[in-house]
Structure 1
């Protein structure tokens, strides 16, 4: 009999169902992972809600790309990892009990992370964004949007010797930013008031670096306005819900650099994943403080809704499997 597993399937806008589907088999150079869990990404929200480009039903386990678990089976030619080894991975169908990945896209988890949730991929994104920011000690960096990603970037930037101004909507998010090293916090409520406050904080110089970590038009507008002359705007938010307009006149006049911090080179992604595991294992990033909500596979839709709606205390949701 063909082996089966449980997998969440997006069957309609806002509707996920758990189906019994064929268990994936690793091809040559691949490994199969029995997943312990998978993080929920903000990029899951739009396809789950339904967009013109959404298709139904989705792939079993689809949208889940923040998995971790135990190597279960090896494809032909794989020698770098072994069955029973605990890993985090760059996968694509992690809302399921099993996923497959290329053997060169998994990173072993050290004993220091035993028993802990390790959605490595989003931490890897933060490591890569930080590298693309080219941030230096002594600079002032504004981070617009303090969630999972913004909190990690706050920690990385403050550890590097930067002065971090954290800007976010929720008071608890600003408190999290302070805990992770922000020097100042600003409530994200009034566009011009925020600009005035940052102008005063920086002696009218504004910021050498601004990281936009929301993925919406207004935060992008705000981030653009906060960059000082010759500074760098780093776009870390995932803008997938439509076109954007930018103030090109302002960009030209200030002579700023604009960096898209989303990596698509698998080598860069793996470098970030390796750095992420090392940083969490060493205690540089308190991942346990950021994974605030856990859901079983049957409630993956609720996990995505929580990622959108952000109930009290929410930072990051993960879906876990018994």
Structure 2
């Protein structure tokens, strides 16, 4: 009898332990499932944030496909004499720098990444200050020849030149125009060359974009912008439908092939010192240091202070209170002008 009682007690204890184990396992499993559920629920938000950030064009701040975001970026030096107008491809550039060259007529160095224009030009020679701008971006640049000063910089520092003198097959001449205003290239031809030279590198420039920044009602009105650079050249912009439409010497600026207007989202005006060198031919443009200017977008303008620590660092734009200025998502035309040049913003 005692033996039966012992057996019954042992069976009861075993059942209790089994139940307890099952309960413990159930609680542990629920805890793990709950943990996994929370983890899985948090992933989409994190992934969504990553998705929002990873396909943004670096120089326009616009959302693009992964394929476009990964396209190689490059720069191209484009002529702006009257014989070179209208130019090709500038309306598809992410950023165009416009600054003075010899003879009192500006020249451009344009950044291309988001778009792939089939024709870019006319391509002209490099100057030291254009080489300096390319160094700020750490991007390869297309050109045809150079000044002696620019050549020395390129050779001494082994810069990523795409000189037509060395890579003629990636350029062509348009016989409907007179030389030297007839040299052209394309995004495809330059990217082919860039890949073969292993020049596909990340840019040093990290731009800030914020559309809401330009809803500030305290900014200055800027429906019309006029830059009178000398007796040979003026350029202006008129704000319409969210874009600034460009003219040069009173004539609307258009793309040569399809007559599409040059229209930009942002205008940067950077004041600095531009001086004639001792040879009385070439220019020195101060790009390092600090100075004043304007940033213009969405029919508004804000006074800015620019600064640049050294020739390889990024040019930083801040407002008069020392806060960073964001660009409006879209393309930008960046003027580097002399402190004495006249600017009218209305």
- Per the shorter chain, which TM-score range? under 0.3
Say which structure is richer in helix.
1
TM-score of the aligned structures, taking structure 1 as reference length: 0.23
Structure whose CA Rg is larger: 2
